[in-house]
Amino acid sequence: MDIIVLGHEATKEEIKHITKKLESWGLKANISKGTERTIIGVIGDTSKITEDEEAAIRAIPGVENVVRILKPYKLASREFKRENTEINIQGIVVGGKKIPVMAGPCAVENKTILTNIAEKVKKAGATFLRGGAFKPRTSPYSFQGLGEEGLKYLAEARKKTGLPVITEIMDPRDLDLIVEYSDIIQIGARNMQNFRLLLEVGSSNKPVLLKRGLSSTIKEWLMSAEYIMSRGNQNVMLCERGIRTFETATRNTLDLSAVPVLKQLTHLPVVVDPSHGVGKRELVAPMAKAAVAAGADALIIEVHTNPEEAMSDGEQSLKPEQFEKLMKELRPVAQAVGREI
């Protein structure tokens, strides 16, 4: 049931107009007149009312507000599916008791460095290798990634270490390539509402890690998950990576409260990226622990053997020994909240 609020200046004709519109959609209007406002309760399956139909009602003179009661996403909602979704990727489950950790460099730079990092993060306990072959960069003059060559290095590092691989897609035309080489497709924050890319990725059956947009509400984020799921791909992980606020002491503001909020609204697994969330190496460890304590299902962390030579995001990358220390520190925190790492 939805609610339409009309001002006291709303005329009988306007109310009738709305009633007829609702009836044409197979719905009924329950009208309550107050002294200051008239309220129309909409009876029937209002989940069918689209964004556009809602807007059309808002555009009617006299309408002050429309209150939607049902959530605009369905497949992604906890109401549609009560139990947690567990996504099995090469035998590693995201969304279960165990908290997998995805680690690796921001960008794939060359084979030797990547393999070296992969071996080190594996030894420390990471279960996925992250690394970007296509890099979204603010400047056209910055390193844009190695492209297919980078994907090949990832595949080789996977072969050597057994770590499944996660990498970012930036262009719908790259889907086949990325599906071929990777185990999880990452949609970056800047592309969270690149709807064509979402639909394309939704048409594959690869697990998808959907990062939250810099200024996206949780609702919009779930709508973007719905885009992917509406095409048939149900294997979506949501990754909190910091939102944009007025605070400049950190690169972004890591919104950890999104974790328990999502746990209420959706059955999809929730991943946290503390590296991008804070943007500074020294802050990664405390926020990784906080993420686990808040209920994160997985972590994704940047690690580089030589952060000062990293081709991107060196400032926020842990060194392998720092990562190893963090992994050790995370275990008791996970246990304290009934999880494992």
Give residues 19-38 in contact with its own copies (rule: CB under 8 A): 30, 32, 34-37
CB atoms within 10 A of CB 68: 15
- The residue range among 118-126, 150-158, 215-223, 232-240 that interacts with its own copies, by the rule CB under 8 A, is 215-223
Examine residue 289 and tell whether it contacts its own copies (CB under 8 A).
yes
CB-CB contact of 94 with 32 (8 Å): no
Q: Judged by CB under 8 A, which of 13, 23, 332, 340 binds its own copies?
A: 332
Q: Judged by CB under 8 A, which of 102, 210, 292, 341 binds its own copies?
A: 292
Cα–Cα distance measured from residue 298 to residue 164, given in angstroms and rounded to the nearest whole number: 14
- The residue range among 80-88, 110-118, 120-128, 244-252 that interacts with its own copies, by the rule CB under 8 A, is 244-252
Q: How far is the CB of 125 from its own copies (least distance, A)?
A: 16
Q: Which of residues 95-154 bind its own copies (CB under 8 A)?
A: 136-144
Cα–Cα distance measured from residue 318 to residue 311, given in angstroms and rounded to the nearest whole number: 14
Residues 6+ apart with CB under 8 A from 53: 25
Q: Site for its own copies (CB under 8 A): how many residues?
A: 107
Q: Judged by CB under 8 A, which of 16, 23, 335, 340 binds its own copies?
A: 335
Tokens of 165: 């691989």
Cα–Cα distance measured from residue 90 to residue 178, given in angstroms and rounded to the nearest whole number: 16
CB-CB contact of 230 with 75 (8 Å): yes
Examine residue 83 and tell whether it contacts its own copies (CB under 8 A).
no
Examine residue 220 and tell whether it contacts its own copies (CB under 8 A).
yes
Q: How far is the CB of 313 from its own copies (least distance, A)?
A: 6
DSSP state of 145: -
